[in-house]
Amino acid sequence: MLTGKKAVITGASRGIGREIALRFAANGADVAVIYCGSREAAEELCGQIEALGRKASPYQCDVSDRESVKQTVGQIQSDFGGIDILVNNAGITIDRLVPQMKAEEFERVLNVNLKGAFHMIHQTYMLFARKRAGRIINISSVSGLTGSAGQANYSSAKAGLIGLTKSVARELARRNVTCNAIAPGLIDTAMTREMNEQAREQMKNTIPMKRMGKVEDVANLAVFLASDLSGYITGEVIRVDGGLCM
């Protein structure tokens, strides 16, 4: 479905981003792996992608830093010869109730989760527009649709990402470039596994399907949205939440 495509994925070294990278490669795409923390994890992922017969390279980049993003995107263009797909997945959480949340904690989450996506789109926008082709996929969250207690910063960033998605979709539609958002619900990742068992069970009971989602559930949708099969879909926010927010 993605043969010959060149994809850039932020926050790709673990969790949902990692699975998207592997699914893209399995469907024929070369992948630029952007990470912030563990180079070892990023290099391991690149090795797995190469084992699938596709090209992969790791790039360390703090997406909240505009200059770092500019340099990284330029290097990826040089190394890969172009960009066809952008997935904005990088994100952090610093959870506290509003009275305990420091201003810098609110700003840090917005800088990574929202401004980081803007910086990546800002640097790739004209690449897509000039060739009149491209796919942008933003990983939002159901928290951006409903809000979440203790996550005023995270929910604000993810809601803002939805607004960014729709604005970019309108701007680039005439250029045959799509921009969509995926809003995962409770997904089984390293982060959710840190929750105590009682909390996990309570959350699962609020989901109509009575189970957590898998990273594959999100990655499969990302493959579709990145492919030619989704060419007439843009500005959408698609939930992957087992019915949690229906």
pLDDT at residue 203 in the model: 84
Q: Whole domain around residue 164: which residue ranges? A: 6-240
Q: From the CB of residue 102, how many other CB atoms can be counted at a distance below 10 Å?
A: 11
Q: What is the pLDDT of residues 172-187, one digit of tens each?
A: 999 999 999 999 999 9
Q: From the CB of residue 232, how many other CB atoms can be counted at a distance below 10 Å?
A: 6
DSSP per-residue codes, 150-162: TBHHHHHHHHHHH
Domain CATH code at residue 68: 3.40.50.720
Q: What is the pLDDT of residues 150-177, one digit of tens each?
A: 999 999 999 999 999 999 999 999 999 9
Mean pLDDT of the residues in the chain:
95
Instruction: Please say if the pLDDT value at position 195 is more than 90.
Output: no
Pairing of strands 134-139, 30-35: unpaired
Residue 127: inside a domain, yes or no? Answer: yes
Residue 245: inside a domain, yes or no? Answer: no
Residue 103: inside a domain, yes or no? Answer: yes
Active-site residue identified among 35, 59, 125, 154 = 154
H helix count then E strand count, the chain: 10, 7
Q: What is the pLDDT of residues 115-144, one digit of tens each?
A: 999 999 999 999 999 999 999 999 999 999
Residue 246: inside a domain, yes or no? Answer: no
For residue 166 the two structure tokens come to 């729709």
Task: Report DSSP state, residue 88.
Answer: E
Residue 35: inside a domain, yes or no? Answer: yes
Q: Is there a catalytic annotation at residue 125?
A: no
Residue 1: inside a domain, yes or no? Answer: no
For residue 168 the two structure tokens come to 């970019």
Residue 204: inside a domain, yes or no? Answer: yes
Q: What is the pLDDT of residues 78-118, one digit of tens each?
A: 999 999 999 999 999 999 999 999 999 999 999 999 999 99
Residue 165: inside a domain, yes or no? Answer: yes
Q: What is the pLDDT of residues 197-221, one digit of tens each?
A: 887 788 888 999 999 999 999 999 9
For the segment 58-80, the average pLDDT, to the nearest whole number, is 97
Provide the number of structural domains found in the chain: 1
